[in-house]
Copies of this chain bind each other. A is one copy, B any other.
Amino acid sequence: MKIAVLSGGVGGARFLRGLLHHLDQTRPAGTTEVTVIANTGDDITLFGLRVCPDVDTILYTLGAGVEERAGWGRAQESFRLQAELTEYGLQPQWFRLGDLDLATHIARSQWLGQGLTLSAVTARLAARWGLPERGVTLLPMTDVPVETHVVVDDGERRAIHFQEWWVRHHASLPAEQFVVVGLDRATAAPGVLDAIRGADVVLLPPSNPVVSIGIILGVPGVRDALRGTPARVVGVSPIIGGAPVRGYADACLAALGVPATAEAVAGLYTDFLHTWLVDPTDADAAVPGVRTVAHGEELLMRDVAASARIAGHALALAEVGG
């Protein structure tokens, strides 16, 4: 079976870890191929090094190297190098880069500098974290550098990098608009459209609908592939009872004038979404043309087991249909 998953960072990575756990427990090894299409819209160049936060979070989470509490970054991390960069007066300090994590960015930057595509680089990184052995192919949504900027106005109207808005300001500056620099000239990375078109199942984890899934959907061809795929597309709501499960999805949705409800988020996907898995509290969500199904427990990925049950439920809805 071929499963394609569109993924942002922490939420997507935890969902994927749950999915792999579910597959390990329910399917013979080697019978399932999971292709992950990762958001690269929040990529950023810091200290001359290319950082792909969502890709890295997926690598570390699936490779058992993630800092579990934060959900991103490396476990047993130290921050000696960045403290030295600060001594040299280098900014920013608000984006924390650990000593172990920096190795990923140095490796990536060196390989990109040698002319490898981001896809090729990501494959090399994924090999170290054991993804191929687990039947997982990790693809960046595009090989073209794409960076999300946020138009904010706190007296002075200006565009700042998404990471500055998200990490430094905790999405507290009202976002007027998201401008995805480079997205108009981006093309889907090799394998991305084929993975969607050739999938048996397409899953949307509870990733941010605006700055994760929304950005992937903006890559030319992706939305058409989702509309055209014979696979069932099943999504997991990132909103429970009117509030995001984590992160600042509400602040992102506000910029689009979309309410932070499970219903409204599904409304962004109606042209390709078949089934929408929601929290029991959102069981009455009604989305035209989309089947809404309530999960049997809170829709929270509290641990790997809970994530596996959510992923397993989504997968069952996509396979069995109804």
Contact = CB atoms under 8 A, between A and B. Distances in A.
B109 A48 contact: yes
B80 A100 contact: yes
Interface string A89-129: 11000000001101110110110010000000000110010
Contacts of A90: 107, 110
Contacts of A109: 48
B128 A103 contact: no
A81 B103 contact: yes
Identical subunits present: 2
Contacts of A78: 78, 80, 99
A88 B107 CA distance: 7
A184 interface: no
Nearest to A107: B88
B88 A100 contact: no
Q: How large is the interface on A (under 10, 10 to 19, 20 to 34, 35 or more residues)?
A: 20 to 34
Nearest to A97: B106
Contacts of A102: 81, 102
B113 A48 contact: yes
A102 to B, nearest CB: 6
B99 A81 contact: yes
A49 interface: yes
Nearest to A90: B107
A154 interface: no
A156 interface: no
A87 B128 contact: yes
Contacts of A49: 106
Nearest to A82: B103
Interface in A139-176: none
A128 B107 CA distance: 27
Given A48-B113, A99-B99, A106 B128 contact: no
A99 B128 contact: no
A27 to B, nearest CB: 29
A85 interface: yes
B85 A103 contact: yes
A106 B81 contact: yes
Given A88-B124, A89-B128, A47 B81 contact: no
A103 B48 CA distance: 12
A81 B100 contact: yes
Given A81-B81, A84-B100, A84-B104, 15 more contacts: A47-B106, A47-B107, A78-B80, A78-B99, A80-B99, A80-B100, A81-B103, A82-B103, A84-B99, A85-B106, A89-B128, A90-B107, A90-B110, A99-B99, A102-B102
28 contacts: A47-B107, A47-B110, A48-B106, A48-B109, A48-B110, A48-B113, A78-B78, A78-B80, A80-B99, A80-B100, A81-B99, A81-B100, A81-B102, A81-B103, A81-B106, A84-B100, A84-B103, A84-B104, A85-B103, A85-B106, A85-B107, A87-B103, A88-B103, A88-B104, A89-B128, A90-B107, A90-B110, A99-B99
